[in-house]
Amino acid sequence: MFDGLKDKLSGFRKDVEENADVEEDADVEEDADIEEPAEEDDSAGAESPAAESDDDQPAASDAGAVEADAPRDAADESGDSDDNEPSTFQRAKAFATGRIIIEEEDLEQPLWDLEMALLESDVEMSVAERILDTVREKMLGESRKQVETTGELVESALHDALLDVIAVGQFDFEERIAEADKPVTIVFTGVNGVGKTTSIAKLSEWLADRGYSSVMANGDTYRAGANEQIQEHADRLDRELISHDQGGDPAAVIYDGVEYAAANDVDVVLGDTAGRLHTSDDLMAQLEKIDRVVEPDMTLFVDEAVAGQDAVNRAKEFNDAAEIDGAVLTKADADSSGGAAISVAYVTGKPILFLGTGQGYDDLTLFDPEELVESLLGEE
């Protein structure tokens, strides 16, 4: 999963390592050139006799001139320039104390390559810029101990930058289910054909594995065959399905599901809705009515991870039109780019809660931002 993005992040790490190593070697040579004359001067000074004759007075005067010039030279080397980059003196000092400073030139080309890699992986532009800014802030001008590797420093910066955008709005889904008054009502929305109904069946099984009962309610009352599709899932899982005739009121169906759950001590109501575009005014009005009549505890947006940038755009549009509480990304196992998984939360401000990772009812994974970042960086 997301193998393409993993390779590109690994490439960025290697590029920075190579650039920093070249710069480090150059600094070592430069430091050696600076130190050698100083050693010769000290040696010469040590061999000179401490003469007190008048013949030595001009030499003393010359020494005084050198001493007078010394503060100016030291100031020049201290690097108090308008540039933010480390001076030669700072680099030499850092190296002498066992540290290497990461400079802008070490990052310039690798950061450009990383930006292109993120965009090619369908990461949304503002998300890519946020990642780059965070990496730059955490690395530029920073020093590392020589006992550490540049790769470890890069990996730490990438870890924090990715987690910063992926974990936006994250909450503990199971904890929310456990603490909420029952029945908990969850409504699913999204465009046609992205796996909403199958995701409902998978979540019903996920809940059952954790001791929660559920009932399905088919609010997709306009699509021919919708009742039959969700009924097949309900039969396979031995779940109750609440449905009305085709063309009925979606809000009424889900409301009946809530009434059934309350009367039969069912923990969770899972409400399906018709696939729609955010521009479908009549269908968006249905969602508004469901929200008003049923007052669902959560509205989850469902889309395919493989849709990449399209999924990110749709998530934003749905959230703007009818506020969502979180997202489910299906077909994550077939997605090598990872752009949607990285971008959806940051763009909408609402978390990804689940990933669909296969065809079986057990193939639904609770989304863990930390685990995803570790996987992307090969930390597992």
* 320: pLDDT strictly greater than 50: yes
Give the pair of three-digit tokens for residue 294.
């049923």
* 194: pLDDT strictly greater than 80: yes
* 358: pLDDT strictly greater than 50: yes
CA 13 to CA 204: how far, in whole Å?
41
Under the banding of pLDDT at 50, 70 and 90, the label for residue 195 is very high
pLDDT at 357: 92
Under the banding of pLDDT at 50, 70 and 90, the label for residue 13 is low
* 87: pLDDT strictly greater than 90: no
* 135: pLDDT strictly greater than 90: no
* pTM to 2 decimal places: 0.75
* 52: pLDDT strictly greater than 90: no
Identify which has the larger pLDDT, 281 or 129: 129
> Residue 17: which residues within 8 A CB-CB, separation 6 or more?
149, 150, 151, 154
**pLDDT per position as a tens digit, 90-131:** 544 444 444 556 666 767 777 888 888 889 888 999 999 999
Judge contact between 188 and 213, C-beta under 8 A: no
* 181: pLDDT strictly greater than 60: yes
Identify which has the larger pLDDT, 77 or 239: 239
What are 295's strand-pairing partners?
A: none
pLDDT at 62: 47
> Residue 145: which residues within 8 A CB-CB, separation 6 or more?
98, 99
Can you list the domains of the chain with their CATH numbers? 3-45+57-166 (1.20.120.140), 173-368 (3.40.50.300)
First to last CA, the chain: 14
* 199: pLDDT strictly greater than 90: yes
Q: Is the peptide bond before 49 cis (omega within 30 degrees of 0)?
A: no
DSSP 333: G
**Percent share of the chain, pLDDT over 90:** 40
Q: What is the number of other CB atoms lying within 10 angstroms of the CB of residue 198?
A: 19
